[in-house]
Structure 1
Amino acid sequence: MNPTSLAAIVTGGGSGLGAATAHALAAKGAKVAVLDVNMDTAKATAEQIGGIAISCDVTDPASVEAAIAQARAAHGVARICVNCAGVATPGKVVGRKGPLALENFARVVQINLIGTFNVMRLAAADMLTLDPLENGERGVVVNTASIAAFDGQIGQCAYAASKGGVASLSLPAAREFAPAGIRVVAVAPGYFGTPMVLGMPTEIIEGLVASTLFPHRLGDPAEYAKMVMAIVDNAMLNGTTIRLDGAVRMPPG
């Protein structure tokens, strides 16, 4: 799919992987709507790429419906949907203060998994109203999983469970939408230099870098964006989860 002149929505588009993806899509001529709960960062990204910033809480059905409607009114129905909104709140199942508060586990799952599904279901419903392109495609959804879905560490039960769910969504959703020409793919990044990671203590960041293989560094969000662009371009990428991790495998903790 050639993104030129096509409408695209990117959740979590104000920073990190989402911002890099918004930049990459706009550079190829897509009309990008940057969706984020943080309007300051969303506006900054949108101004840089000539897109629009829209307030969106992915956990709230009404908020997502309104955001997609606003994007549709500005750019038309989005053929490209990239879900990058997420959190990585750590917590052991049973820590020094006792069992993990259930609401803490639920919040991570609500944002990462249910939020991703919430946006995907509404974006796909819109895509189904479109005429197919010359190759039969109507749209593509790219969801952000994590290598924690497969290598979850101690203290990552909520995060790993939520990202495992995102990875598992790919195949059944792709199968459902295949007759309509809508693809669904997940990307599972390893250690990337996002605000989420760069906000960690220096010793933790140094430990992450030390465990990488090749490239021996944190991933650049622009490299995630390149993968998204490859997925958009290649119609054979469908119903799968792609690890983007430089061959790193996370240790138990």
Structure 2
Amino acid sequence: MDFNGASAIVTGAASGIGAAVARQLAAAGATVVVADLQADKGEALAKEIGGVFVSVDVTDTEQIKAAVRRASELGPLRVLVNSAGIGWAQRTIGRDGEVDSAHDLDAFRKVIAINLVGSFDAIRVAATEMSRLEPTESGERGAIVNIASVAAFDGQIGQAAYSASKGGLVGLTLPVARDLSAAAIRLNTVAPGLIDTPIYDFGGDAEAFKAKLGESVLFPKRLGQPEELASMVLECLRNPYMNGETVRVDGGIRMPPK
């Protein structure tokens, strides 16, 4: 996949992994639509990389459609990276034996709606636009990458909602790749481990906390950098023989129960 002259959409691009992906796509020649709800950070990043910010709530189909239309104005839409997502931690049942203290069902629905349904919605809308394009020299019309998590495989205590949403992304990878093959569109999923993103930046002991987390990584014993994760995303986009696969990028970690 040659990114020069093409447009790309990255959801959740205002910070963390999404921002690193957006920067690397822009450096490779794509015009990137920074699709996020964080307007200040999103607009600043879009200005930095020569892209465009579009406010997108991935649970709103019309906003996804608007991002696709805007991308198509900038060049043929060849790339979608689904990085938008939220976390949630709560045990399935409470300690007091009462249903009212069990896992918040609305919170479970929200995590699934954003992380899983929102990603699938973006896929179906963006892929429809890609299917109208002429194939590139490599014979493909587009490429898509979902950002899942090792929680899809090694979900910890309290991660029922998050793991279910990320496991859903892993589960849809092959069947959707099979669906999209008729249109010469590839789909892969990348599952990060412990990546150094703003989620860990809190209080004065954040660095010590991150160093402690890094000790559980097989090698190297540290948190991964967003740029390292973004590098794998770009390889999945670039490599025309990479399709229908989920790749862990985690330093060999296998998460313990808690």
1:142 to 142, 145, 148: 145
What is the deviation of 1:95? 3.1
Q: 1:10 to 1:87 in 2, by over 3 A?
A: same
Counterpart in the other structure of 2:107 = 104
Query: Deviation per CA, 1:112-165, whole angstroms, max 9, x where unpaired?
Result: 001110111100000000011112100000001100000000010000000000
On the 8 A contact 1:10/1:82 being kept in 2, the answer is yes
Amino acid at match of 1:88: G
Counterpart in the other structure of 1:82 = 81
On the 8 A contact 2:82/2:147 being kept in 1, the answer is yes
Q: 1:6 to 1:47 in 2, by over 3 A?
A: same
Structure 1, unmatched stretches of 5+, are none
CA distance in 1 between counterparts of 2:209 and 2:105 reads: 26
2:241 to 236, 245, 249: 236
Amino acid at match of 2:45: T
1:227 to 227, 232, 235: 232
Q: Does 1:33 align with 2:33?
A: yes
On the 8 A contact 2:211/2:222 being kept in 1, the answer is no
What is the deviation of 1:63? 1.4
Counterpart in the other structure of 1:208 = 213
On the 8 A contact 2:134/2:141 being kept in 1, the answer is yes
SS across alignment from 2:112? helix
Q: Does 1:198 align with 2:201?
A: yes
Q: Does 1:180 align with 2:183?
A: yes
Amino acid at match of 1:228: V
CA distance in 2 between counterparts of 1:206 and 1:157 reads: 26
Paired residues in the alignment total: 252
Amino acid at match of 2:21: T
> Comparing 198-207 with 159-168, which one deviates more in the overlay?
198-207
Counterpart in the other structure of 2:133 = 130
Counterpart in the other structure of 2:250 = 245
- Deviation above 6 Å: which 4+ runs of structure 1? none
Percent of residue pairs bearing the same amino acid type: 47
On the 8 A contact 2:35/2:56 being kept in 1, the answer is yes
SS across alignment from 1:243? strand
What is the deviation of 1:96? 4.2
Structure 2, unmatched stretches of 5+, are none
Amino acid at match of 1:78: L
On the 8 A contact 1:5/1:31 being kept in 2, the answer is yes
Q: 1:199 to 1:12 in 2, by over 3 A?
A: farther
Q: How do residues 43-82 of structure 1 correspond to structure 2 at under 5 angstroms? A: 43-73=43-73, 75-82=74-81
TM-score (norm. length: structure 2): 0.94
| RMSD between superposed Cα atoms in Å | 1.4
SS across alignment from 1:3? coil
SS across alignment from 2:213? helix
